[in-house]
Structure 1
Amino acid sequence: MDIKQMAQDALRCDVCEAGVVQSRCDLCEVKLCKTCVGEHLANLSQKHKVAPFQQCGYKSDYPNCQTHIHKPCHHWCKTCDIPICVLCSSDRHKGHISFDTSQVPGGRQNVAEKDAEESETYVYPNYKGIASELRNFNDKRGEIQRDLQELENIFCPHFKERFSEIREQKSILGDHYEQLTTAVSKQGDVWHSEIDVNVKKRKSDVDEMRRKHLTALDNQEEELEQIISELEEMILDMKEMLNSNNVALTSAYYSSNDKFRKLPGKLLFSFPTFTPKDIDEKFVSQNFGCLTPLSITTDHQVAVQTHQTDVALPVLLDEPRLVTTINTNLPNLHSVACVNDENVWMSGEDNIIKLYDLNRSLVKAIQTKSGNMPFDIAVTNLGDLVYSDRDLKTINIVKINTKQIQEVIRLRHWTPYNIGIASSGDLLVTMESNKKDPDSRVVRYHALAETQIIQYDSAGKPLYSANKFTVYSKYICENTNLDICVSDSRARAIVVVNGAGKLKFKYAGHHSAKKKKKFSPVGIATDSQSRILTTDVNDNRIHVLDRDGQFLLYIKDVDLVCPWGLCVDSKDNLFVVECQRSQVRMIKYLDI
């Protein structure tokens, strides 16, 4: 029969090759027509299992040989691990280990009798080897069967269940996210409402502070008005007494001038400031802004300078005198800060800060946390040491009781240089920006929060010079009248602003005929009478100014060499750093 014609016909019986297949013997792997079923079962030499063709079991499928295209591969070459036909087993794969896959249960029976050529050339391997390979093959089939059951009964149901869950989740997704959007909108309304409440409260606080401020001024104004009225009345009475020549009245006169020799304490105001803050994860009221409280304090009573010889007031000595010299061995000493009337801190170009007493004895030494040089030092109102680390851009506090060093401020785009402590305890810092074209400014920190920036005058021009090429010191201090004083060595000037940051004056040195060198101020300090003192490193002397910037005198002729940092203790003793000599001089410049 023509093979091409068979492919076009219905499936034919393997016995008569004419009838249409109705059944199949699973054990013999033979397709049978209705007529040949009985003849096949009559062969009692082997077992049979005939079933309708549609219900038959596993049917082995033999691929055609790649070399002999029309020959099915009934054998497997284990040496080459490929299927082969009977011709290949006696030709190209002769001597290789192979087995007949038709011997597998359920596989095709020996078909050699149908092909005389195959039966003459094929040599079967020993049956022990075939049995071993058959066992392996059966094991593989068992493994496949187990995997199939696992896939069908376990994996597939679970994946289908998960797939159904995804479908269900997608169906409710829209409603859920719509609820989230609504919740976000409601929370936004709450935040807006909270902001409105905070704005109203801040405005109310400002109005209340304005009222308190005005009330305090009104009260002192009224007090001074009464005193002035009393003074004017007494002046009239004494003039009348002098004009009357009344002996009795004159003899009974008793002076009451003593009660007017001192002015009432001057009110010191720390003006409140408001600094906006970015809103972050924290609550609006904590991040909306920092409104510093109004601080109303009264300083010590200021003595009124008179020409009465019986009033003991501190006066400037024409010839200041040297009290003591403290040698530190610190290289290039530059900063000094009074702890009290007995101890002073000192620092130079070293990572050690030293504390000395007036007996010139070393009390203690502290190493900076980073190991870097402290650019400047100061002492807080509580007696703790503060120093700036220019390299790390940080401000650090040394708790004297515990000696622990705490980093309290870290800057990113600015570098801190010199530091000062205000009477309120606020921290004042001079700093330079890290830009290519740098800026310079003064920043006030209240409770370690930035509350004030002083950078430009009323015309929008910079108040302080910028360090474009070389680092210049800008020492800073607060005067007793709350003015902020900065020594700008690059600008060769002292820059003084009031507590609100408004420029009061600039001092560019005393232009005397004898002065030949340019004014180069470095250290700066103020005393109890609001005088301003600054070192002139070029001329080895100290300038003394009044609170309004008027030159008073020089402190000189005390053998100063390269005077740098300054500080004044509560008794108005002056401590001056001599940079090159690495020593501190204590100078008395007032006659108390």
Structure 2
Amino acid sequence: MNLENSLQDVARCHHCEAPGPSLHCDICNKHVCKDCEKEHVSDQLNMHKLVPFTLRGCITICKLHSSQICDQLCEKCLIPICVVCASKKHQGHGFSDVVVKLEQKRKDFKRDLEELEIIHPKLKEIAVYTINQTANLNKNYRKLTTAIDKHGEDLRSVIDVIILKFKSDVFDMKQKHLDVLNKQGEEIKRRISEMEQIITHLNDLLYSKNVSVVSAYKSKNAEFRRLPPKLTVTFPSFAPQKIKREQCGSLSTYRTIRTEDHGYDSSGAKSSLPDIIEKQQIISEINTEYGSNNGLCSVSCLNDQQVWTCSFYDKIMKLYDTHGELLKSIETKSGNYPRDIAMKKNGDLIYADYDERTVNIVKNTQIETVIRLWIWRPLSVCTTSSNDLLVVMICDDDEQTKVVRYSGSSEKQSIQYSDKGELLYSSGDIKYITENSNLDICVSECEAGAVVVVNKAGEFRFTYSGPNFSSKESFIPYGITTDSRSQILIVDSSNLNIHVLNKDGQFLRYIDISHLNRPSGICVDTKNNLFVAETVHVTGKVKKIQYIM
């Protein structure tokens, strides 16, 4: 080999000194060009293994079998092995050619590297943006704190002025009382002095023989008999008024950080927002026999294998198992159609009678009225973790709606207005209600196209009107329920899907129910299986759906 050429070139064929050999023999450790490939392997006295030049060094002699080369990769053990090892120690494992595997992995690495080179600057950009947001956050929260401090100073100034005015008024009243008492005191002192002079004069006259002086005396006793009144001061009182928090101003509730999607596909193009629709498996179907003219409206789980159902147009409530067998039928006490049903923890059935203005409980086969309304009508009911009843009701004027919590027959709480005095719920008589595991109260309002969520105390948390990125038909919510993950599930009958939200109202995904006919009522069993009712003028079926894998 020419030393000068060897020094000038990075690599040359060890046979013909051609530059840029494409092959390398990992056994001989020699470079080989394509033209010299046959010449190199013709030496049968030694082992040879030619590999692409870029993969040189990947083939080694087996440490256990020195006459064999490790040209196979055990896919289970992820180590290079020889043919003898493959037939003995690694028998039954999957194998692949080492060179082929390396070439494939290098292509994967190159693809990953190209993608990471796209992602890396974007991630750095988001990192800088996040740092800026953090700085902006600190700045804005300082401004907020400063504004609150300034408002506190203003409030203290106003309070100081008010307190000074109170004290001034107290001083003025005190002075007026003192003036009256002092005036009377001076008058009494004058009378006492005058009376004492008269007493002394009378004692002198009593033994006087001076006829002129005695005759000149005139009695003033009539005047002294008119004693001055006793003055009793009625003191003013101070009634401190407790300052309510809202009188000092208001701070908007915590808002979740708005997220913007920065994903992209392998080509580097921006991906769409997370409008994920999941079509899930139907486990079973229950034919409720309400039929095409009896609109199935509500469904409630007694347990994982049995569900109660009711219809807008049938006075019979029916209990089915998941195989579709009718287990029990209960007719409403009034003979009216039940508006909604719910289950108590002990398995008793609750139903709302809109026309009768009552909420009733079914114990075995006996029906007891637990709530009777007067100018209100019940629309929907649910039970709570504390075994209370929550009832959505509408006023006879069709303008007012409220949620009332009952313990037995006793009203414990009424939820109708926000802390600003605004109505929380709209008019309209198609509403469903449920309680989440965090004790939030969730109400779906069909006509308003919204879900309103308040906390246990009845304080407004959020309104959900559909994801803001959706370009679908109007959001028309019907049945609503929650699962073991505190997710809120809402039937959207307009778009034939179920919206899944987290407990704070953030949209997570859709569940595709386009294979159902006019879905309405919904409930979830303890295993997070959905029961969805198909409603008015269609099939009258309840379908059990597995939506969490």
Q: TM-score, normalised by structure 2?
A: 0.48
Q: TM-score, normalised by structure 1?
A: 0.44
Work out which of the two has the higher radius of gyration on C-alpha atoms and give 1 or 2.
1
